[in-house]
Structure 1
Amino acid sequence: MLDTDVITCSVARDARALYALLWRPESFAHWASGLGGALARDDRGWTAQGPEGPVRITFTPHNAFGVMDHRVDLGGGRVACVPLRIVPNQAGSTVMLTLFRQPGTSPARFAADAAWVRRDLASLKAFAEGALAP
């Protein structure tokens, strides 16, 4: 089994409204810097420029459960699964992303990846709460 780090942030926005804002892949460009801000659709799905080169991304379809999972095909048979959830938390929401430590990833690199996710979730929070709204 892979090591995991479940990273959360609280967002002062109703869970259904937050999901409606964020579930479309196009919205990831507003907060997910790991996709390089270059998320594009082609005839086979979604692509982006990842930290290590081009990647192909498959997103969970729209659903009633706040699930925004995605799979990132890194090439060479490597696929990273990224479970992402929005759950109601009273009048707001908790966003949870599970980061898996990929085989061959050093503890220092895993910690750096977790820090990157925390920055991205802080951007998600700012975007969702209006500070970065277009």
Structure 2
Amino acid sequence: MKSRHLSCVISASPQSVYAFAADPDNLSAWAAGLATADLRRDGDDLIADSPMGEVRVRFAPRNDLGVLDHDVRLPSGTTVTNPMRVVAHPDGAEVIFTVRQIEVDDEEFERDCRMVARDLATLKQIIEG
């Protein structure tokens, strides 16, 4: 299984980047690779219409460490854990996302990495205005 770490530096405080990214109501604005429309809540889970089909997402509890890890249960039933962090950076904050190659071929993995990179760029654009 391959893993790739993608990151984006955002000119804003880590706390403000985390607060925006951790808010489920903001997900469809910046995370097109995960949520293409408004989310539905089911207890601690979020139900999202994604490019992969309907997925169930559960984020790590809110924390002061910038941890945005989230599990995504795919339409196949497989659960993928996505490590994601917001950390301090000399220019503001850095968002780091680990993409893992699970249930996809090399071409789909590269597509997934491009989608995550676009999502991080969108997050940067929204926060920086």
Q: Which moved more, 1:41-50 or 1:59-68?
A: 41-50
What's the secondary structure of 1:75's corresponding residue?
Answer: coil
Where in structure 2 are the equivalents of 1:1-12 lying within 5 Å? 2-12=1-11
Distance 1:50 1:21 in 2: 20
Distance 2:86 2:44 in 1: 27
Question: 2:22 is matched by which residue type in structure 1?
Answer: W
| Equivalent residue, structure 2, for 1:72 | 72
Shift in Å at residue 68 of structure 1? 0.6
Where in structure 2 are the equivalents of 1:13-92 lying within 5 Å? 13-34=12-33, 35-43=35-43, 45-92=45-92
| Equivalent residue, structure 2, for 1:126 | 125
Distance 1:117 1:91 in 2: 21
Q: Given the two structures, how large is their TM-score scaled by the length of structure 2?
A: 0.91
Identity among equivalent pairs (%): 33
Shift in Å at residue 21 of structure 1? 2.1
Distance 1:23 1:53 in 2: 22
Asked whether the 8 Å contact 1:25–1:59 carries over to 2, the reply is no
Distance 1:88 1:43 in 2: 31
What's the secondary structure of 1:72's corresponding residue?
Answer: strand
Distance 1:43 1:62, change over 3 A: closer
Q: Given the two structures, how large is their TM-score scaled by the length of structure 1?
A: 0.88
Distance 1:16 1:45 in 2: 23
Structure 2, unaligned stretches of length 5 or more?
Answer: none
What's the secondary structure of 2:74's corresponding residue?
Answer: strand
Structure 1, unaligned stretches of length 5 or more?
Answer: none
- How many residue pairs match? The answer is 128
Alpha-carbon RMSD: 1.4
What's the secondary structure of 1:33's corresponding residue?
Answer: coil
Runs of 4+ off more than 4 Å: none
What's the secondary structure of 2:120's corresponding residue?
Answer: helix
